[in-house]
Amino acid sequence: MALFDHFHNVYDDAFKPRLLRTLLKDHVPDQNQPFRSPSDLSIILSAIKTHRLVSESVTESIDQKHIDKWKSAVDSWVDRLLALVSCNMPDKCWAGTCLLGLTCQECSTDRFLASYSVWFHKLLSHIQPAAESHFVKVASCTSISDLLTRLGSFPNAKKDGTSHAGKLIQPVLKLLNEDGSEAVWEGAVHLLCTIVTFYPSSVQHHYDIVEAAIVSKIMSGKCSVNMLEKLAACLALLPKSRGDEACWFLMMQKVLLSINVYLNEAFQGLEEETKCNEAIRLLVLPGKDPPPPLGGQKTSGEVLDKAARKSEQLLMSSVTTLMLCCCKMLTTSYPVQVTVPIRPLLALVGRVLVVDGSLSQALLPFVTAIQQEFICSQLPTLHSYVLDLLTAIIKRVRSQLLPHAADIMRLLTVYFRMCAFPELRIKVYSVIKILLMSMGIGIAVHLAEEVINNAFADLNPIDQGTGDISSRANSKASTGALLQTRHRKRKHATTATGSSEEQLDRVNFEKEVPKGYTTFIPVKIAALEALEALLTVGGALRSERWRLKVDLLLITIATNACKGGWADDERVISLPSDATSTQADFQLAALRALLASLLSPARVRPPYLAQGLELFRRDKNARKQLHPSKLEIGSMSGIAESKKQKVTNKLD
């Protein structure tokens, strides 16, 4: 290379082969040079991706001489990597394996199709038989996954890809079953998920042993929460390897049966025996044979192995992992249409949510205080997972839930009254919001009272700070009084459109809401979003009883939230679960809910339209973020669209 052989600029194709050779010379070790530092690898990765150094994608203006130089540089690059992959030194082998995986992603199509088979067998040599270094094993699994992922984008190479993927099943299962590091297990599971996703037919003959290996790892008690989540996702993908409805339904049935068997052990003495029998009866119809146990266990009584019986913590982790598997199965696409077992799923949700840790007098002699203490410590986690499951059911089934709407509403109503954990109340509000948007005005009519009661209790405008939620019974009583004392029918629309001060003074929250009742800001935001969904879906139908109260609440909340101008996003309020919200988020949620009340269909003019418009005029940031084109308020009637245009014109 001539010392003064300059190129045009950073975008010049002549620059790329020169930089690639410099990286190869200064940062990639050879047989004689030592591998200096893992930081060198990050420098190489960044440069290859940023400048696309191995893509060999040239412009029409480049001459053949530069094309040949680039091809020669990439040839040298690949030869060096293959030499490193075959090296006996673990650090060099690891570096070469990582960079070969990157090359599989970044190289040209022609080079990839011509070389992938050689690269595959080079990488396969480190997992069959397995390499001694855990780092090399993980890197090999990741690089093979990258190779197979790209190969899956070429339809003509599908048959060859399936053949290669079939060679991986046994080595991957060996990695998963060996008593090694969790990083190796993660790499094996990631590779297994790639195989099932892109080459499902290669897993068909190994379906049962793959299921057994995944379930065995879940029940081993040796995995972290992150690893259990990956295993749950892999188990949920497994039915895709067969791709028929029966396989998906059978997997769901086996998972639900296992969860209920584990809950029999966990909830012993904490629930009625009929709950367990009902769940099993819905899964195994009279006259039908029960499905084989999940993971190939001998009998349902032996599903809990010795380790599980000794560890209550392991029991709970198995239940939550299998619940997550159900969520993944419901929310992940599947090749064919399947029949979702709605009743067994809802029975499981109801079974978990009704347990609050209390014991009947008849069961006191059979449950120790330690057992009760442990299950109560785990109930918030169980309730959280089962609420996620209910969300997944609603998203998957949507309008097909109509025959079960009464059961869902009854379940949510009962649970909302007993739920006092901020994180769980946020999830309940989220479930209700999704339910309203999915099932429409029919569900809104029946859920309105419960949503409003809880929202009034949570949206206490006296205290906008954070704190713990107090007794749900007191909140319920105060909320009922709040609604009753403010129930006034308007004879004329003009009677409710007085001055802002007069309207706000009517809401005497300090007397209605008990002192000491405070709520986390994220809970308030969730309550506002639920009210927004309620107004959007069911603002006009049979809303005379509560509409004025909600409108007054929202203008009060929005006015109080925006006192002093738009908040700084750096003012963060944290929940115990590390979820964060800012005061600006609360202001935005309050204004969105207020805008929904102004736009929601009604028989009369919005009572607080003037105050609301004045609020939006004062806050330019609010107008920008609340532009109607960005609102997710669903479909609206012609009346609402007309009113929306009028409000938009006034805002502009």
Distance (Å, whole) CA 56 – CA 293: 53
Whole-angstrom distance, CA of residue 309 vs CA of residue 318: 12
Amino acid present at 496 = A
Q: What is the pLDDT of residues 184-203, one digit of tens each?
A: 999 999 999 999 999 999 99
Nearest by Cα to 460 from 524, 365, 529: 524
Comparing C-alpha atoms, which of 403, 424, 404 is closest to residue 415? 424
CA distance 531 to 528: 5
Q: For residues 503-529, give the mean pLDDT.
A: 60
| Helices and strands of the chain, counted as H and E runs | 29, 2
| 106-112 mean pLDDT | 95
- Which is more confidently placed, 272 or 397? 397
Q: Once rounded to an integer, what is the mean pLDDT over residues 50-61?
A: 83
User: Which tokens in the block code for residue 96?
Assistant: 């070469």
Question: Of 341, 441, 339, 453, whose CA–CA distance to 389 is shortest?
Answer: 341
The pTM is what? 0.83
Q: What's the rounded Cα separation, in Å, for the pair 122 and 84?
A: 11
Q: Which residue has the tokens 């200064």?
A: 26
Residue reference for tokens 């004392």: 485
The confidence band for 299, taking pLDDT boundaries of 50, 70 and 90, is: very low
pLDDT number for residue 584 = 83
Asked if residue 365 has a cis previous peptide bond (ω within 30° of 0), the answer is: no
Angle between helices 225-237 and 245-266 (to 10 degrees): 140
- Least Cα distance to 164 among 202, 213, 214 occurs for 202
Kindly state the percentage of the chain with pLDDT values over 90: 47
- 444: helix, strand or coil: helix
Q: Is 46 exposed, middle or buried (0-12, 13-18, 19+ CB in 10 A)?
A: exposed
Burial tier of 260 (Cβ tally within 10 Å: 0-12, 13-18, 19+): buried
Q: Residues 194-203, buried b or exposed e (16+ Cβ, 10 A)?
A: bbbbbbbebb
For the segment 490-504, the average pLDDT, to the nearest whole number, is 41
pLDDT of residue 627: 52
Close Cβ partners of 89 (under 8 Å, ≥ 6 residues apart): 35
Element (H, E) at 580: strand 580-582
Amino acid at 449: E
H-assigned helices in 332-421: 342-353, 369-397, 405-418
246: tokens are 């029966």
> Which amino acid belongs to residue 328?
K
Nearest to 405 by CA among 413, 427, 133, 109: 413
Nearest by Cα to 376 from 420, 322, 428, 411? 420
Per-residue confidence (pLDDT) for residue 226, from 0 to 100: 95
E strand or H helix at 573: strand 572-574
283 pLDDT band (50/70/90 cuts)? confident
**Which amino acid, residue 264?**
N
Mean pLDDT of 551-556: 92
Residue 615 has pLDDT above 90, yes or no: no
Q: Is residue 359 predicted with pLDDT exceeding 90?
A: no
- At 641 the pLDDT is 44
Residue 481 CA to residue 549 CA, distance in Å, equals 13
Q: Provide mean pLDDT across the span 167-180.
A: 90
Confidence of residue 574 (pLDDT cuts 50, 70, 90): very low
Between CA 75 and CA 269 the distance in angstroms is: 69
- Chain position carrying tokens 């299998």: 322
Residue 472 confidence (pLDDT): 39
pLDDT at 542: 57
- Residue of 363 and 513 predicted with greater confidence: 363
Question: pLDDT higher for 39 or 242?
Answer: 242
Q: How much is the average pLDDT of 296-325? A: 70
Got the DSSP string for 492-547?
SGGGG---HHHHHHT--HHHHSPTT----HHHHHHHHHHHHHHHHHHSSTT-TTTH
* Strand-pair partners of 581: 573
DSSP state of 332: S
CA distance 453 to 462: 17
Q: How many CA atoms lie within 13 A of 343 on its CB side?
A: 9
Asked if residue 213 has pLDDT above 90, the reply is yes
Say yes or no to pLDDT of 212 above 90.
yes
Mean pLDDT across 147-157:
95
The 10 Å CB-count burial string (b at 16+, else e) for 538-575 is bbbeebeebbbbbbbbbbbbbbebbeeebbeeeeebeb
Residue 390 contacts residue 431 (beta carbons within 8 Å) = yes
Lowest mean pLDDT among 136-150, 376-390, 587-601: 587-601
Comparing 68-77, 127-136, 202-211, 225-234, the range with the smallest average pLDDT is 127-136
d(CA 628, CA 630): 5
Three-state secondary structure readout of 150-203:
HHCCCHHHHHHHHHHHHCCHHHHHHHHHCCCCHHHHHHHHHHHHHHHHHCHHHH
**Residues 6 or more apart whose Cβ sits within 8 Å of residue 63:** none
Q: Does residue 167 contact residue 124 with C-beta atoms inside 8 Å?
A: yes
Residue 31 has pLDDT above 80, yes or no: no
Work out the number of other CB atoms within 10 angstroms of the CB of residue 431: 22
What is the rounded average pLDDT of the residues 415-438?
Answer: 93
Would you say 110 and 60 are in contact if contact means Cβ atoms under 8 Å apart?
Answer: no
Residue 398: predicted pLDDT: 83
Are residues 14 and 7 in contact, defined by beta-carbon separation less than 8 angstroms? yes
**Does residue 496 or residue 8 have the better pLDDT?**
8
Q: How far is CA 355 from the centre of its chain?
A: 25
- What pLDDT shows up at residue 6? 59
The pairing of beta strand 580-582 with beta strand 572-574: antiparallel
Please, what is the average pLDDT of the chain? 80
pLDDT of residue 506: 43
**DSSP class of residue 460?**
-
Q: Which two tokens stand for residue 305?
A: 């192995």
Site of tokens 């609010």: 622
- Rounded to whole angstroms, the Cα distance separating 442 from 171 reads 54
In the predicted model, what is the mean pLDDT of residues 583-601? 88
